[in-house]
Structure 1
């Protein structure tokens, strides 16, 4: 697949949205374009080979049906990497948002224990080894090495992962650092808001899953009734 990377790059691929998703998933554009090239090769090679095998077996598809099948297969294999990447990026953003809620809670606990803002941020980011918390810890460490304010690191994370809650947390920390504002109460309110939002999303997902399960249950119950009623109905019809 790497053979087609320069060609697809010359065509302007990947787009801006895809590049953001690649950055979220810690993937490079070359590997993504290699997957696209592989899909294109499969789209061009597999249908003719399959059609030839069917022809040798005596099965000849009408030309319109063969063309539609080829086009559908080509669309599926071409857009499959995009859909997979988009789904992975969405899951990573959700995981980062959930981690931010726990991170804000831990910062509030450290502040209540008498730690300063920098110490509270460092202690909170060291509480987990999950990839999301590792990203937060690395961003804070990088900001410290560059002698930048810690809220800059959080704002950069918000821009990278397209999560506005990071920007709100960074704004609260910047206000505390610049004007000496009380940060503990504002962070506690922010953590409470994130928790409520997280629980609401979990409840919405659970209700959505329940609704999606309704149709299979109805079909299963209908099949069960048909299985029970068919012998009696068949007997009645044959006896007429």
Structure 2
């Protein structure tokens, strides 16, 4: 009977590890780029704010799983990930959490240490859930860091657009030249949106607004709203851009101060516990003498 349980656990653990290795190799293996999804990204409807079709046929089989998991679309679009990649990361993390206790249980059984079967099963399920949740929280943490970086870059972009307008450049040219001045993934995303607007013959500020709705950065949508009045009404908006950049910097500074105060307030708990520990050391000799 013990041998049957050992064989069952060994087969289940080996199957889980083998499936995880297969998915990793399948993801890393080079494949022919799919032309259809790339064209659909260039011609996606303007009214939708959801993520486009999967960027590669390698992850099409995970589409149903990604819908079931209900991924955070705006956070994924911000860090340039697809729902299928999110589902793959959560699945691999859960499989690793599921297989690790099973392998340890098999090793202990081989060494002759027996225990109830319910223990590794419950530990595997709990660890799989925690690993999947950790993968989800990692995506959210990356998106929060990317959002902060994007907002800071938008401040610089506002100033650069204002300088281009002050140099007597047109609204469209000011947006394109300001995006080409700096390097970084934020300005690459902005340049990509401006190129899409140029190829589709759309207004660049409308494309910036769509990008802002897609990734959840309303500050970028403010740039498009301000430049729309300049392009359609001919208004002089360079002072408006500079004042918006200053107000955005003040908002970022306020958010950072609030975050720092929240972290500082959490430090009061261990300090209070330390006071109680020291008080116990002081009172203990008097209590022992009574």
TM-score class normalised by the smaller sequence = 0.7 to 0.9
Cα drift, residue 74 of structure 1: 2.1
Change (3 A) 1:193 1:186: same
Residue 196 (structure 1) aligns with? 250
Pair 1:140-2:194 in alignment? yes
Change (3 A) 1:128 1:61: farther
Pair 1:95-2:139 in alignment? no
The more displaced of 159-168 and 119-128 is 119-128
1:190-238 residue CA offsets vs partner (Å, 9 max, x unmatched):
22321221111111111111112222333345445556x38xx44x566
Give the 3-state SS of the residue equivalent to 2:72 in structure 1: helix
Alignment partners' CA distance in 2, 1:187 and 1:12: 40
CA contact 1:40–1:74 (8 Å) conserved in 2: yes
Alignment partners' CA distance in 1, 2:94 and 2:196: 40
Alignment partners' CA distance in 2, 1:198 and 1:88: 18
Alignment partners' CA distance in 2, 1:32 and 1:114: 45
1:33-76 residue CA offsets vs partner (Å, 9 max, x unmatched):
3323323333432223334555657574795x666544321211
Pair 1:162-2:247 in alignment? no
Aligned pair count reads 235
Pair 1:207-2:207 in alignment? no
Residue 26 (structure 1) aligns with? 80
Change (3 A) 1:171 1:184: same
Alignment partners' CA distance in 1, 2:231 and 2:143: 33
Alignment partners' CA distance in 1, 2:135 and 2:150: 22
The more displaced of 189-198 and 51-60 is 51-60
Residue 240 (structure 2) aligns with? 186
Alignment partners' CA distance in 1, 2:287 and 2:271: 29
CA contact 1:14–1:29 (8 Å) conserved in 2: no
Residue segments in structure 2 that go unaligned for 5+ positions in a row: 1-19, 28-58
1:2-50 residue CA offsets vs partner (Å, 9 max, x unmatched):
2796664334536554344332212244443332332333343222333
The more displaced of 152-161 and 109-118 is 109-118
CA contact 2:155–2:248 (8 Å) conserved in 1: yes
Residue 230 (structure 2) aligns with? 176
